[in-house]
Amino acid sequence: MKYIDEFRDGDKARHIARLIHQQVRGGRSYRLMEFCGGHTHAIFRDGLVDLLPQEIELIHGPGCPVCVLPMARLDMAIELAQNPQVILCTYGDMLRVPASGGTSLLKVRAEGGDVRMVYSPLDVLALARDNPERQVVFFAIGFETTTPPTALVLRQADQLGFTNLSIFCNHVLTPAAMHAILSDDGPRHLDGFIGPAHVSTVIGSQAYQVFPEQYKKPVVIAGFEPLDVLQAILLLVRQLNAGRAEVENEFTRAVTPQGNLKARQLMDEVFTLRDRFEWRGLGSLPRSALRVRPELAHLDAEERFTFSAGQSRENKACECPAVLRGLKRPSECPLFGNPCSPENPLGSCMVSSEGACAAYYSYGRNR
Ligand code: SF4
């Protein structure tokens, strides 16, 4: 298949790996963060770690939308799902994430809550149309990749005059998280980033220019196939050896400098920046998330419903916060594998297909 098979060629992968071996300089390390959980899975799925020299250390970043959502926001969604007037819709991964007290949206559904899994946010419009006597709430999560479809729902709901549909908005911004990681980089000493693929199709490669300029860290945007990731690592090693810090785009078949201008414009029309937003693992970050614009407050679940100010209770033994900051590997969590597993997730990083703990577990990695 075009754009897939040609980026999975084993001979070419070994060739790029040889070039990386030739380029690395003994005596120094190359600490590279793959921001996106999709890259973490690709790296383990395709056995790329085994092709790389020991000087290269790959550190997984916080780019898993399910993982970075803090417990307090999930508890708010649980509250919505327990409201008998509400049909709560969200993506499948969110259903299994543990909330305070070990509950989850799946458990609320088993207790009678009306929780629906959707594949596309546009399904929410049909649900609202078909259930005029109920309040349909879309629990929206994700980075810039999933934000445009939510924006489309908002615009259509406004145009069609829906009064029983609202969005519980938890969309977050990739560059803000990268700023947070680099501002607090002491323990990790990152040398550079493998930049996200899907997010970059929306925000464009120019969005990363600030990182070489402000922090002197290179960013190479990469696709999700094995040759993409290896090529990005090679480009990062070359930059670091030459003392350069630039944005390079390995994923030119999908990412442009400006990104998707239509999607960005639509997002600007319906969302505004929050002053601060709490991230699991990264803490409260300024201007790091979106909320529904005040002009569309009638479609904002945070305006339509009241929430109790209950105290969220994190599982203190779960090391997700340290894993998300790249300070610990999943296998360093005492709960990893037993009792925490994809069948019995005790933290968000074990739930999602983009979570680092799930990647380690699924591909049997212990380092
Ligand atoms: Fe959290 Fe489970 Fe990962 Fe430990 S193994 S950090 S409990 S998700």
The pLDDT of residue 126: 96
The pLDDT of residue 1: 76
Q: What is the DSSP annotation of 168-209?
A: EEEEB-HHHHHHHHHHT-TTT---EEEE-SHHHHHH-GGGGT
Please state whether beta strands 56-63 and 247-249 pair in parallel, antiparallel, or not at all (unpaired).
unpaired
Q: Using one digit for the tens of pLDDT, what is the confidence trace for 250-293? A: 999 999 999 999 999 999 999 999 999 999 999 999 999 999 99
Q: Averaged over 86-94, what is the pLDDT?
A: 96
Are the C-beta atoms of residues 319 and 328 closer than 8 Å to each other? yes
| First-last CA distance in the chain | 33
Residue 110 alpha carbon to ligand 1 centre in Å: 24
The dihedral through the CA atoms of 96, 102, 105, 109 has a sign that is positive
Q: Which of 56-65, 212-221, 304-313 has the highest mean pLDDT?
A: 212-221
Share of the chain above pLDDT 90, in %: 86
The pLDDT of residue 351: 92
The pLDDT of residue 7: 83
- When mean pLDDT is compared across 1-15, 66-80, 200-214, 299-313, the lowest value belongs to 1-15
pLDDT at 354 over 90: no
pLDDT at 366 over 80: no
The pTM is what?
0.94
**Which residues have a Cβ under 8 Å from the Cβ of 265 and sit 6 or more positions away?**
none
Closest CA to 177 of 279, 255, 70, 274: 279
Answer yes or no: is the C-beta of 136 below 6 A from any ligand 1 atom. no
User: Rounded to whole angstroms, how far apart are CA atoms 352 and 113?
Assistant: 22
Domains, in order of start, for the chain:
5-57+188-195+205-247 (3.40.50.11750), 67-173+259-304 (3.40.50.11740)
pLDDT at 199 over 90: yes
Per-residue confidence band for 188, with pLDDT thresholds at 50, 70 and 90: low
User: Rounded to whole angstroms, how far apart are CA atoms 318 and 324?
Assistant: 11
Residue 58 alpha carbon to ligand 1 centre in Å: 19
Question: What is the chain's length?
Answer: 367
Share of the chain above pLDDT 70, in %: 98
Q: Taking the CB of residue 310, how many other CB atoms lie within 10 A of it?
A: 13
Q: Using one digit for the tens of pLDDT, what is the confidence trace for 262-274? A: 999 999 999 999 9
User: Rounded to whole angstroms, how far apart are CA atoms 266 and 261?
Assistant: 9
pLDDT at 39 over 60: yes
- When mean pLDDT is compared across 50-54, 79-83, 139-143, 312-316, the lowest value belongs to 312-316
ipTM: 0.99
Residue 336 alpha carbon to ligand 1 centre in Å: 6
Q: Using one digit for the tens of pLDDT, what is the confidence trace for 99-119? A: 998 899 999 999 999 999 999
Are the C-beta atoms of residues 230 and 51 closer than 8 Å to each other? yes
User: Rounded to whole angstroms, how far apart are CA atoms 191 and 204?
Assistant: 22
Angle between helices 226-242 and 37-45 (to 10 degrees): 110
Q: Is 248 helix (H, G, I), strand (E, B) or coil?
A: strand
Q: Using one digit for the tens of pLDDT, what is the confidence trace for 310-334? A: 788 888 899 999 999 888 999 999 9
- When mean pLDDT is compared across 5-14, 33-42, 123-132, 138-147, the lowest value belongs to 5-14
Per-residue confidence band for 187, with pLDDT thresholds at 50, 70 and 90: low
Answer yes or no: is the C-beta of 17 below 6 A from any ligand 1 atom. no
- When mean pLDDT is compared across 2-16, 123-137, 321-335, the lowest value belongs to 2-16
Q: How high is the mean pLDDT of the chain?
A: 94
pLDDT at 90 over 90: yes
Residue 321 alpha carbon to ligand 1 centre in Å: 9
Q: Ligand 1 test: best mutation among 60, 97, 319, most atoms within 8 Å of CB? A: 319
Are the C-beta atoms of residues 332 and 325 closer than 8 Å to each other? no
User: Rounded to whole angstroms, how far apart are CA atoms 72 and 98?
Assistant: 11
Looking up tokens 């996106």, which residue turns up? 36
Answer yes or no: is the C-beta of 319 below 6 A from any ligand 1 atom. yes
User: What is the residue with the minimal CA distance to atom 8 of ligand 1?
Assistant: 347
Closest CA to 283 of 172, 135, 140, 168: 172
